[in-house]
């Protein structure tokens, strides 16, 4: 019980640290879940016995809080977003999703990275960083170290993109719409997109510009479809690998292995789509989701050794870099080649 309470406290403080970052740095540099992960990793390595003593509680946090955080996040998404102002970017977003997973799985195999880590890196790069990693990790039953390595890989390159894109695209002479397409489609975390957009707003002298976040909203909504797709893929793999399932239909296998939290996740998105949740309710669910993800990642961090990061984590980070570069190049190329369409 003490470990669970400690994870909750660390998760809450980690989320509050984002407000402090905005005051001191003018933007969020490290999201709450990543802060929680780093803090508990330090705990684990300074006090090695903690990993065993807290094992039961931290395992509960890393699994159950991820489920609940995913359900809460579903209530912040809306199928209607695909029909919103960022709809023009949908072709680029779909291309990037396919490209990100393809590159991550192909290069990950070449590097000897586990399939789970490759899926998490692909999802985090394609959609929304830590939120996508947290959601997909429960579907594919990823190990704690796989989650941690994927988070680290995404964080490093997401930070680089958030700081560099406004200046790079201004230097290239990109229009505001081109910036919106690239930033919204190729920067992972929503807070990072918001930070990059704020920088760009000051550079162009237009505080009302919201294009990048509009594109990011559509991209985040894709998590619903990606989560469902991987649920079916994993079920199909289970049918193929299990002798017991050989004679069962794919639907019966899905029924047995379907993670119920995904059903609630989709249901919450549906309720938000039809307007069940007010703006205040959506904001509350967003805060709950972030808090639960931070508490869950705090549980993960208690099991990660720094020596493992350096011995096993460098390849996932390299994979994150390659995947990030491919998605970035695709986004820049799309915005440049189809400048007439982008505007």
What are 149-176's pLDDT values in tens digits? 898 888 888 888 888 999 999 999 999 9
Predicted pLDDT at 296: 86
- Token pair of 49, please? 């016995």
Would you say the pTM of this structure is higher than 0.85? no
Average pLDDT over the chain reads 84
Predicted pLDDT at 159: 81
Residue among 201, 257, 194, 219 at smallest CA distance from 124: 219
Residue that is written with structure tokens 């870099």 in the block: 321
The torsion defined by the Cα of 136, 139, 141 and 142, in degrees rounded to 10, comes to -10
Q: Which long-range contacts (CB under 8 A, 24 or more apart) does 208-212 make?
A: 209/176, 209/180, 211/85, 211/86, 211/176, 211/177, 211/179, 211/180, 211/184, 212/179, 212/180, 212/183, 212/184, 212/187
Predicted pLDDT at 126: 92
Q: What is the DSSP letter of 127?
A: I
Predicted pLDDT at 323: 96
Query: Which CA distances in Å does 200 have to 145, 208, 311?
Result: 36, 11, 38
State which residues of the chain have pLDDT below 70: 81-85, 238-259, 309
Predicted pLDDT at 125: 93
């Amino acid at each position: 019980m003490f470990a669970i309470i400690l994870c909750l406290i660390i998760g809450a403080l980690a989320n509050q640290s984002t407000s402090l970052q905005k005051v001191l740095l003018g933007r969020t540099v490290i999201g709450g879940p990543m802060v929680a992960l780093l803090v508990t990793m330090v705990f684990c390595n300074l006090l090695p016995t903690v990993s065993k003593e807290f094992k039961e509680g931290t395992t509960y946090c890393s699994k159950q809080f991820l489920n609940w955080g995913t359900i809460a996040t579903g209530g912040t998404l809306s199928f209607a977003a695909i029909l919103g102002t960022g709809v023009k970017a949908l072709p680029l977003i779909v291309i990037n999703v396919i490209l990100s997973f393809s590159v991550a799985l192909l290069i990950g195999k070449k590097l000897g990275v586990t399939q789970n880590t490759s899926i998490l890196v692909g999802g985090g790069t394609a959609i929304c960083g830590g939120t996508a990693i947290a959601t997909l990790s429960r579907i594919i039953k990823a190990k704690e170290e796989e989650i941690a390595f994927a988070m680290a890989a995404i964080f490093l390159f997401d930070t680089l993109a958030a700081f560099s894109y406004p200046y790079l695209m201004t230097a290239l002479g990109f229009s505001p719409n081109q910036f919106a397409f690239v930033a919204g489609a190729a920067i992972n975390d929503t807070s990072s997109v918001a930070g990059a957009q704020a920088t760009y707003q000051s550079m162009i002298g237009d505080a009302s510009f919201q294009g990048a976040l509009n594109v990011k909203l559509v991209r985040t909504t894709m998590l619903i479809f990606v989560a469902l797709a991987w649920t079916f893929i994993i079920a199909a793999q289970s049918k193929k690998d299990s002798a017991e399932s050989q004679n069962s239909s794919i639907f019966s296998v899905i029924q047995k292995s379907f993670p119920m939290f995904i059903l609630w996740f989709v249901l919450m998105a549906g309720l938000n789509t039809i307007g069940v949740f007010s703006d205040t309710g959506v904001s509350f669910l967003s805060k709950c989701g972030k808090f639960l993800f931070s508490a869950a990642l705090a549980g993960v961090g208690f099991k990660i050794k720094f020596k493992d990061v350096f011995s096993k984590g460098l390849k996932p980070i390299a994979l994150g870099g390659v995947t990030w570069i491919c998605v970035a190049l695709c986004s820049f190329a799309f915005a440049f080649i189809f400048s007439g369409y982008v505007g």
